[in-house]
Structures are given as structure tokens and as C-alpha cells.
Amino acid sequence: MHLTIRRCAAAIVFASVAGVSLAQDPGPKAKSGSETITTNTTKPFRVLTNGQRITIQSNKTINNIIVWSANGERFVEQNNLQAPSYNFVIPSKQKYVFVMLQLEGGKRYTEKIGIRQ
């Protein structure tokens, strides 16, 4: 008798969990309509690190660059750079720095860079 009640209770719990999980939003891939989500992960620049030295190479002209640490200290701020590459040295012992690039055409990119000590 108790075994039958346990099996019925387990079946009810399983059915209710399965029903609730099917009622959730299926996500952007399963949605139909005119909405299309495109993710372009290729960036027009590369970040090269060698210890504290960081080099940024781009296939477009770099107009502006700002580099700051996690605590907000700015290391580099160059405007009207007009160069395809830029390198700099991080003066302090930071684990991470953030780089904001503005390329020709006004497109901005932000990148978090880990620094090896």
C-alpha cells in the first residue's frame, strides 16, 4: 500500500516538474518572427600581451584609446591617435585592466585584459 502511494506521488511530482519546465521561455533561437539575433564575435583588432607590455593591433585606424584599472585609475588616454597599432606598459601591479578603443567610423570596443604577474 505504501509503495503504491509513493509511486503515485513520484509520478505526480515528475509530471508537474516536466509541465512547468515546458512552460518556460524557450529562448531566442526557438522564437519565430521577424526578430533575428546576430552575434558577431570577430573584432577588427587583436590584443597582444607580454608581461606588463600590451600591444593593440587593428586592421582599421585607431582614433582614441583609454586604458584604466579596476579601481578606476587611468593609465593611458590618447585622442586623435590615427594609427593602426598602439603599445603601452602598465605601470602598476594590476591583475586586470580595461581598454576602450574607438576605431575609424566611430565604433567603440571595450575589452577586459588579464595581466600576468
The pLDDT tens digits of the residues spanning 82-111 come to 999 999 998 878 888 999 999 999 999 999
State the pLDDT confidence band at 37, using cuts at 50, 70 and 90: low
Confidence of residue 10 (pLDDT cuts 50, 70, 90): confident
Kindly report the number of other CB atoms within 10 A of residue 65's CB atom.
Answer: 19
Contact 103, 60 (CB under 8 A): yes
| Confidence tier at 3 by pLDDT (50, 70, 90) | confident
- pLDDT average, residue stretch 56-74: 93
Q: Say whether 80 sits in a helix, a strand or coil.
A: coil
Q: Tell me if 68 sits within 8 A of 51, measured CB to CB.
A: no
Residue 63 is predicted with a pLDDT of: 95
* Residue pair 104/60 in contact by the 8 Å Cβ criterion: yes
Helix (H, G, I), strand (E, B) or coil at 90: coil
CA 1 vs. chain centroid, Å, equals: 56
- pTM (2 d.p.): 0.63
Between 116 and 108, whose confidence is greater? 108
Each residue's pLDDT tens digit, 27-36: 555 555 544 5
**Full set of structural domains in the chain with CATH:** 45-114 (2.60.40.730)
pLDDT band at 74, cuts 50/70/90?
Answer: very high
Distances (CA, A) of 9 to 5, 14, 19, 21: 6, 9, 15, 18
Amino acid occupying residue 90: I
| Residue 86 near residue 55 (C-beta atoms within 8 A) | yes
